[in-house]
Each structure stands twice: as C-alpha cells, then as structure tokens.
C-alpha cells in the first residue's frame, strides 16, 4: 500500500547503523520490532562484524542467565531473617514490622 506507515513498513536500510542496531537490540532479540525493522536489523547484523560479535555475546549471556539454577529460599527464610534483624537492631528503634501480607 503506497504511503503506508505502520508495523509492516520497511525501515530504510541506509538509516541502520551500529548505533541504531544497538539501540534496538533488546527488541530485536525479543522479536518485538516491526517486520521491516527486523529485516534491517538482520541485514545489518549479517554485514557488520562488530554488531555480529555484540549480538552473539549478548545472546550467549542471556542463555547463561536463563539456564542458571533458580534459587528458592527455605520456607522459614523470612522468619529467620526478621529474628536476626531483631537481635541486631537497637532497642530504641522498636520492633521490625514485616509487611508480608500486603503483597
């Protein structure tokens, strides 16, 4: 459609440079950019060694982060934490009031 502007519009390839690539990189990884922008990002990544290295390093970092073991606190963690805070807290400050039920 002539003059169409929107999610499907083409991104002018000459406007895609390293700065534009890196500015939109998170959306590129999440694949949330408009189709034309995705194509311009892919084309730039395929032709720029620096941005290819940037993209690869960031994706590897994300994979490491996603594959880290989830740490779950013990069921009594908050109770023990508050007990320890009470022990170290000066009496003049009064008791610690947990606000767990509000969340």
Contacting residues toward Zn ion, per CB under 5 A = 18, 48, 51
Closest approach of Zn ion to the CB of residue 12, in Å:
16
Comparing CB distances to Zn ion, the nearer of 43 and 82 is 43
Comparing CB distances to Zn ion, the nearer of 39 and 48 is 48
Comparing CB distances to Zn ion, the nearer of 34 and 54 is 54
Instruction: Report the C-alpha gap between 103 and 21 in whole angstroms.
Output: 39
- What one-character DSSP code corresponds to residue 92? G
Closest approach of Zn ion to the CB of residue 51, in Å:
3
Closest approach of Zn ion to the CB of residue 10, in Å:
19
- Residue 89 to residues 79, 84, 100, Cα–Cα distance (Å): 15, 9, 19
Instruction: Report the C-alpha gap between 56 and 45 in whole angstroms.
Output: 10
Structure token pair of residue 84: 């320890």
């Amino acid at each position: 459609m002539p003059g169409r502007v929107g999610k499907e519009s083409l991104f002018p390839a000459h406007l895609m440079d390293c700065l534009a690539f890196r500015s939109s990189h998170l959306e590129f990884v999440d694949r949330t950019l408009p189709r034309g922008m995705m194509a311009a990002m892919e084309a730039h990544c395929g032709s720029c060694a620096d941005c290819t290295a940037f993209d690869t390093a960031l994706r590897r970092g994300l994979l490491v982060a996603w594959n880290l073991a989830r740490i779950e606190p013990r069921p009594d963690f908050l109770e023990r934490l508050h007990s320890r805070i009470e022990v170290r807290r000066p009496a003049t400050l009064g008791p610690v009031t947990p606000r767990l039920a509000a969340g």
